Amino acid sequence: MSWRGIWSELREAVTGEYPAGTLTNPSVSFIHGMSGGVTNAGVAITEQTAEGLPAIYAAVHVISETTGQLPLKIHRRLRAGGKEPDPDHPLYPILHDQLNPEMTAVQGREMLTRHLAIWGRAYGQIERNRRGEVTAVWPLHPARMLVRRNELNQKVFRYWMGGNQNRNTF
C-alpha cells in the first residue's frame, strides 16, 4: 500500500472523515467496504478480479484439475487391523462417481478446489432423502454464502440466491 493510502486510512480512522473519492481514485473506506484492498500499484484486487489474471487462473486451473483427478476411495477398518476399499459404503457412488445429477465427482471436486484456492473456503449443500441418506452434494459459490454466529455462538449459514432478497440480513 502506498503512503497516500496509509495516510488516508489513518485520517479516516482518527477523524472519521471519509473523502468521497472518484471512479479512478475511490476512497479507501469504499474499497474496504467492497471487500477489496489496494495494491502498491493502486489497483484493487478482489476474488473476482484475481480470477481474471492469467497467472492466477492457470495456477488455480492446474491445482483444481489435479486435485479433482486424484482417486477418492472410501475404506473400512478391518478387525484384524488395517483397512480395505469399501465400494459398498453409501457415500461411495457420490464421492467416487456422481456428486449430483448435474456433475461428476471429478467435476465437483475440481469446482470445490477452485473455490477453496480463490476464496479460501468452499461450501456444499448436502441433499438427503426421507431416510436421511445422502443423495447428492451441490457446490455453493462462496461469494453468496453468509456465515454468522447466532446468540448461542453457533455458526449459521445462509445462501443468498439473488434477486430482491437482502443479502446481509438473516
* pLDDT digit string, tens, across residues 86-111: 999 999 999 999 999 999 999 999 99
**Tens digits of per-residue pLDDT, 56-87?**
889 999 999 999 899 888 999 999 999 999 99
Q: Would 101 be classed as within a structural domain?
A: no
Between residues 144 and 40, the one the model is more confident about: 144
- Give whole-number Cα distances, 66 to 28, 60, 111, 112, in Å: 38, 10, 12, 12
For residue 119, is pLDDT > 70?
A: yes
Asked if residue 130 belongs to a domain, the reply is no
pLDDT reported for residue 71:
86
Cell numbers for 11, please give them.
485520517
Give the range of the structural domain holding residue 8, as residue numbers without chain letter: 1-45
List, for residues 22-61, the tens digit of each pLDDT value.
555 555 555 555 555 566 666 777 777 787 888 888 999 9
**pLDDT confidence of residue 3:** 46
pLDDT digits (tens, 9 = 90+) for 127-140: 999 999 999 999 99
Q: Is 26 within the bounds of a domain?
A: yes
Count of structural domains within the chain: 1
* 33 half-sphere exposure, CB direction, 13 A CA radius: 8
Average pLDDT score over residue span 102-123: 93
**Do the domain assignments include residue 29?**
yes
Residue 4 has pLDDT above 70, yes or no: no
Residue 121 belongs to some domain of the structure: no
Task: Report yes or no on 38 lying in a domain.
Answer: yes
Is 2 contained in some domain? Answer: yes
Pairwise pLDDT comparison (148 vs 168), residue with the higher score: 148
Within a domain: residue 71?
Answer: no
Q: Kindly give, in sequence order, each residue whose CB lies less than 8 Å from that of residue 145, ignoring residues fewer than 6 positions away.
A: 121, 123, 157, 158, 159, 160
Torsional class of 132: left (φ above 0), alpha (ψ -120 to 50), beta (otherwise): left
